[in-house]
Amino acid sequence: MLNKINLLLVGVGGQGTILASKILAEVALLSGLDVKMSEIHGMAQRGGSVVTHVKMGDEIYSPLVEKGEADIILSFEQLEALRWLSFLKPDGEIITGTQVIEPVPVIMGKAVYPSGIVKTIQGRVQKLISLDALAFATECGNAKASNVVLMGVLARRLGFAKEIWLKALDNKVPAKFLDINKKAFTQGYELV
Amino acid sequence: MKVLLTGNEAIARGAYEAGVGVAAGYPGTPSTEILESIVQYPRIYSQWSPNEKVAFEVGVGASIAGSRTLVTMKHVGVNVAADPLLTFSYTGVNGGFVLVSADDPGMHSSQNEQDNRRYGRLAKIPVLEPADSREAKEFAAKAFEISEAFDTPVMLRITTRIAHSQGMVELAEPVPVVKKEYIKNAQKYVMIPAYGRIRHTVVEERTEKLVQYAGETELNVTKIKDRKFGIITSGICYQYVKEAFPQASILKLGMTYPLSQKLVKDFASQVDRVFVVEELEPFLEETVVTMGLKVDGKRLFPLIGELSAKMVREKINREMGLASSPDEEKTREGLPSIPARPPVLCPGCPHRAVFYVLKKLKMVVTGDIGCYTLGALPPLEAMDTTICMGASIGTALGMEKSNPELAKRIVAVIGDSTFFHSGITGLVDMLYNKGKGTVLILDNSTTAMTGHQQHPATGKTLKNEPTEAVNIAGLVRGLGVKRVVEVDPFELARLEALIKEETAAEEVSVIIAKRPCALLEKAASGYMVIDESKCINCKQCMALGCPAIALRDGRVTINPEICNGCNLCTQVCKVGAIRKAGEDVE
Ligand SMILES: Cc1ncc(C[n+]2csc(CCOP(=O)(O)OP(=O)(O)O)c2C)c(N)n1
Ligand code: SF4
Ligand code: SF4
């Protein structure tokens, strides 16, 4: 494992980006690493673009991941992956769900949702995983758990023990959604 | 035990560990979660007040009566509380008093980006600036000690990046709740001029002692490493500096007002040149310059918005003639244009109906602050002014008096929480000075914008305990407004007729548009579909700006996943092409 990992989690208000970041930060805490997580909310609930920064390692100063600094970008929506692409390190990796959520200017017909986003990203980054997390989550019984499916994929890449992830889920996910979330996580974890 | 806490949670924890007895505030990003988090400590009495001034005054009383007291607000809230703040500085405290000012450089969710450290200087009270969650907890506790030791309110100034970043915090055992004896002391607490003059002398003497303290306290840390340059900094900027220059000499100020000349000069004398790195105003820089030192600060760094580690690295490297980092913009070259994703009123939001009608009637709308400010954005675009909380009503009166031709078209729009915050006095003014305005109170039973807090008309306290609910219509009638009507904004035709009628009336009218926020009560009343055979694709329904109504291949469609079934679009459609899914077509 790298001695410092910078992650950016990006999505749309309501997709569970902040919860996912909290789980990730908890994993770092349980593993004895220093960690900082930064979120901006406020307008997030109203369908805006949401980004959280998670940095872990021996000692973390700035809580922010800046342009060209992310080792991994975990994206819950295609367009958001594209929006934050410039934050990726040249050899960084993108994990994205293929879900499409049209922003209002697109809905209003004032802007177009770019086509072939996954292809566009593929042409520019060395490592890309894209999957229909929504479908997997629906299979597990709750479409809302698609963020956790993607967490599972991320977990495999990061290399902390699976038990630590499950413990972090225990600590952070409300009890009534825990089973579904664990199932969704395992789906993602076993996938790649 | 080590846990992850946001800066806001850490402040709540610090207050708890320091034996705080009373906490009050008014919601406002990025400060809101401090009180929401303090609720988990039942031994602390905590409450939302209707506005920051009252919250501050509740705090004043709590402190004078003997409790350690925490008062929280966002930066612009301190403007509202400034009156008691500036004189409470004179009286000083009994139980320790800490004011949290949560500033918002970059305006992530604010109407301006004022730098409230200047209030510290204006009120002559110490200002502490933590640089992460660990310090947020420690400084919160330390602030109470300083408050009592120097008999002064203390400002704990944080910014969005501190408030909303999680970091590791070591928890400690709380001390018992601090309760000092109350002793009547009019010379200290009754600020008539004769006593105020005496207290002003006390304040100036106090400041001298605080300057002395600033030179000794471990809140301020000098680290000399590389001597080619040294950086004076505080708060989140310290993290950016450390990230950019791990080997730099740094004077990290945990207490940014007042400063110790000796401390700063000692630091400066050990390095070849000095930079000051701070967001927003040149607050530290100005003071350091008056000490006769030559430093670089705002010549390099912007007055506007946030800084970053990258910016600190680049600016100082360039200044020092060092190599700068490579350009990372390449991945972006030739990318398709990426549509913005602005926030929108939710599907089913009751505010949408109001702005749809106001736009249709071509009203001049003096607006206010809340979710409904989104009514200013396309396609609704039905708002002419937004200044600060409560401004809508006074602004409407001023417009009417200044330009009588507009009178019949002016509507002041204000949310329920905002009305309690600072709308009532505006309405009194309108009545008193013979205004003829129409005020629309958007009663969605919550303070939605800041994350759904209770307010005086919801019947619940911060701790979710049942309480008296202020009756808005009764309150308004009690003031003397004769024309008061309540309407469900989703009854579009009635709403329109009422707005027409009330704006035409020759006296003050208040329309209360009453319906809970769509996120409070999940309507669960199904979703709408468009009957393709009837739809003439006129796109009238799209003028609502509902995110559930989308254009797909040139045709209007409704997204069943997010439609809330609010029934608004069915009323807007002229040919009756929209109906509830599953309902029969006649
Ligand atoms: C002086 C001040 N305090 C707090 C805020 C933060 N703030 C913005 S809008 C708002 C309340 C909005 O509630 P309401 O008027 O009920 O409208 P809603 O969001 O529910 O539509 C608050 C507290 C502010 N902008 N200014
Ligand atoms: S949170 Fe409530 S008030 Fe705010 S936009 Fe959504 S429905 Fe409207
Ligand atoms: S599509 Fe129509 S019914 Fe559904 S939320 Fe939007 S306006 Fe309301």
Q: What angle do helix axes A146-158 and A17-30 make, rounded to 10 degrees? A: 30
Which one, of B573, B492, B578, B571, lies nearest residue B528 by Cα?
B578
CA B533, B538, B541, B546 torsion-angle sign: positive
CA of A15 to the centre of ligand 3 (A): 21
- Tokens standing for residue B571: 């009323």
User: What type of residue sits at position B496?
Assistant: E
Under an 8 A CB cutoff, do B331 and A125 touch? yes
- The shortest CB-CB distance from B550 to any of A13, A25, A107 is to A107
| Digit-coded pLDDT (tens) for B5-64 | 999 999 999 999 999 999 999 999 999 999 999 999 999 999 999 999 999 999 999 999
- CATH code assigned to B220-320: 3.40.50.920
CA of B548 to the centre of ligand 3 (A): 6
CA of B234 to the centre of ligand 1 (A): 29
- CATH code assigned to B528-580: 3.30.70.20
Chain A, nearest residue to B558 by Cα = A107
Residue B441 in contact with residue B472, Cβ under 8 Å?
yes
What is the count of structural domains for chain A?
1
The answer, yes or no, to whether residue A145 has pLDDT greater than 70, is: yes
Tell which one of B119, B346, B369 to mutate to probe ligand 1, the residue whose CB is within 8 A of the most ligand atoms. B369
CA of A45 to the centre of ligand 3 (A): 18
User: How many CB atoms are closer than 10 A to CB B307?
Assistant: 23
CA distance A146 to A152: 10
Surface-to-core class of residue B524, CB atoms within 10 Å of its CB (0-12 exposed, 13-18 middle, 19+ buried): exposed
Partners of B101 in beta bridges = B73, B157
Which one, of B518, B178, B206, lies nearest residue B345 by Cα?
B518
Which residues in chain B are closer than 8 Å to A39, comparing Cβ atoms?
164-165
Surface-to-core class of residue B451, CB atoms within 10 Å of its CB (0-12 exposed, 13-18 middle, 19+ buried): middle
| Digit-coded pLDDT (tens) for B191-223 | 999 999 999 999 999 999 999 999 999 999 999
Tell me how close the Cα of B334 comes to any Cα of chain A, in angstroms: 10
Helix boundaries (H) for B224-333: 235-244, 261-269, 283-290, 309-320
| Alpha carbon separation from A131 to A71, A153, B225, B338 (Å, rounded) | 19, 10, 49, 21
Which one, of B108, B54, B63, lies nearest residue B81 by Cα?
B54
CA distance B237 to A178: 38
The distance in angstroms from the start CA to the end CA of chain A is 18
**Cα-only R_g, chain A:** 16
Give the CATH number of the domain where residue A86 resides: 3.40.920.10
Across B126-144, b (16+ Cβ under 10 Å) vs e yields: bbbbbbbbbbbbbbbbbbb
Ligand 2 close to Cβ of residue B352 (< 6 A): no
At B523 the pLDDT is 55
The answer, yes or no, to whether residue A41 has pLDDT greater than 70, is: no
CA distance B543 to B552: 16
Q: Domains of chain B: which residue ranges?
A: 2-216, 220-320, 350-514, 528-580
The answer, yes or no, to whether residue A42 has pLDDT greater than 60, is: no
At B327 the pLDDT is 57
- Please indicate whether the domains covering B350-514 and B528-580 agree at the CATH topology level: no
CA-closest residue to ligand 3 atom 8: B566
User: What type of residue sits at position A147?
Assistant: N
Under an 8 A CB cutoff, do A38 and B161 touch? yes
A106 reaches B (C-beta below 8 A)? yes
CA of A41 to the centre of ligand 1 (A): 15
At B508 the pLDDT is 98
- The shortest CB-CB distance from A38 to any of B2, B164, B168 is to B164
Nearest ligand 3 atom to alpha carbon B568: 7
- The shortest CB-CB distance from A12 to any of B341, B346, B550 is to B341
Q: What angle do helix axes B52-64 and B75-91 make, rounded to 10 degrees? A: 30
User: How many CB atoms are closer than 10 A to CB B555?
Assistant: 12
DSSP 8-state assignment for residue B388: S
Look-up of token digits 């109504």: B549
DSSP 8-state assignment for residue B173: P
Of chain A residues 32-51, which have a CB less than 8 A from chain B? 34-49
CATH 3.30.460.20 assigned to domain B2-216? The reply is: no
Nearest ligand 3 atom to alpha carbon B549: 1
Residue A44 in contact with residue A13, Cβ under 8 Å?
yes
| Digit-coded pLDDT (tens) for A49-72 | 899 999 999 999 999 999 999 999
Report mean pLDDT in 10-residue bins for chain B, 586 residues.
Answer: 96 98 98 98 98 99 98 98 98 98 96 98 98 98 98 98 97 97 98 98 98 98 98 98 97 98 98 98 98 98 98 97 68 81 93 98 98 94 98 98 96 98 98 98 97 97 98 98 98 98 98 96 80 95 94 92 94 96 71
CA distance A152 to B402: 63
CA-closest residue to ligand 2 atom 6: B346
Of the CATH numbers 1.20.1050.10, 3.40.50.970, 3.20.20.120, 3.40.718.10, which one belongs to the domain with range B350-514? 3.40.50.970
When the pLDDT of each residue in chain A is averaged and rounded to a whole number, the result is: 92
Tell me how close the Cα of A15 comes to any Cα of chain B, in angstroms: 13
- What confidence category does residue A45 fall into, taking pLDDT thresholds of 50, 70 and 90? low
Range of the domain at A137: 4-191
